[in-house]
Amino acid sequence: MSLLRQMAIGSVFLAATVVHAQAPQQVRQQVPGYYRLAVGEYEVTALFDGYNDLSAGLLKGLSKEKIRALLSRESISGDKLPTAFNAFLINTGTHLILVDSGAGHCVPETAGQLVPNIIAAGYTAEQVDTVLLTHLHLDHVCGLVDPDGKALFTNATVYASKAEADYWLDPAHKAQAPEQAKEYFDIATHSLAPYRAAGTFKTFVAPQSPLPEVQTRSGAGHTPASTMYRFTSDGAAITFIGDLIHNAAVQFAHPEVAIRFDTDPAEAIKAREDEFSALAKNGEWLAAAHLPFPGMGHVTGDGKTFNWVPVMYGPYQRAAHVPYLK
């Protein structure tokens, strides 16, 4: 082989080595946690606040072996239940409404992304004028305030069910609660304190509604007065169910499975079965706080067992006329 040819081949290998060495660094960062969906004329934006791993032992009503088998079908191994913290933003054209606020500073290791993701989605916390709380557990109210207890949604009126507020904000109920549950009362009180002081925390009794755009109905069982919120527009509808379900792999197939956090498991099971049956019949959208992000989709089923059909990633609004390719 001639010296010139050897040099040419060597140059090729050298160039390849240089190109490989100059590859960009890995980004190692997830895309912003928001997903948009058109529901009639309303814009619904799912917001990812973070996640936590719950213990599978928290699920009650089915043997450990059956629960593990159901989880393994979803490639979930071990004792951990991956659980998202989802909140939702609804732009009706008149109001910018936030449903729940995530775990925020209460789970600093893996949550607290609500406000950054609101900004990534094109809004600001100051633009939110209404917050609707499904219930007052920490993973729904902690995102209302910063670690110093200052309100994050300074222009919003915050709403919750009257019975829910009466329970969690009452020192007498806290005194009667088990020791391990007292923190829940403290966090609810702390998270709502700046809004109560400003006169911007208000309550309602379902089916009364704080806004004309939303319908309310009881989802009690998980907490004494959990509330579901249903929005309808131009023939479409979506219901925000809060903690009616915690794990898709288990509780759609077996809605009779409760979780240890339920204050009244039997009531929670009935609420879940009734709502899933209704959604399976009417085909409306569902949005849930703890299903895998974005937590929106449809329910199918026969009234006893159900299936989860998560929203497919796609454009905000699908074109009216799409060529059908055979």
| Cα–Cα distance for residue pair 270/266, rounded to 1 Å | 6
Looking at residue 94, its amino acid is T
Res 145: pLDDT: 99
The structural domain count of the chain equals 1
> What residue numbers bound the domain in which 47 lies?
30-232
What pTM was estimated for this model as a whole? Answer: 0.92
Asked if the structure places residue 322 within a domain, the reply is no
CA-based angle 38:39:41, to the nearest 5? 85
The position carrying tokens 């990633």 is: 313
Asked if the structure places residue 12 within a domain, the reply is no
Query: Rounded to the nearest 5°, which phi and psi values hold at 48?
Result: -90, 115
Lowest mean pLDDT among 4-8, 250-254, 266-270: 4-8
Q: What number is the average pLDDT over the span 219-224?
A: 97
Cis peptide, bond prior to residue 315, ω within 30 of zero: no
The band of 323, judged by pLDDT with boundaries at 50, 70 and 90, is confident
The band of 203, judged by pLDDT with boundaries at 50, 70 and 90, is very high
The position carrying tokens 């590859």 is: 23
The position carrying tokens 């755009």 is: 213
Residues 251, 268 contacting (CB under 8 angstroms):
no
Q: Which residues contact 256 (CB under 8 A, 6 or more apart)?
A: 61, 62, 269, 273
Asked if the structure places residue 308 within a domain, the reply is no
Asked if the structure places residue 184 within a domain, the reply is yes
The CATH number of the domain where 173 resides is what? 3.60.15.10
Residue 325 vs residues 44, 137, 314, 318: alpha-carbon distances, Å: 30, 49, 18, 16
Inform me whether the pLDDT recorded for 78 exceeds 90.
no
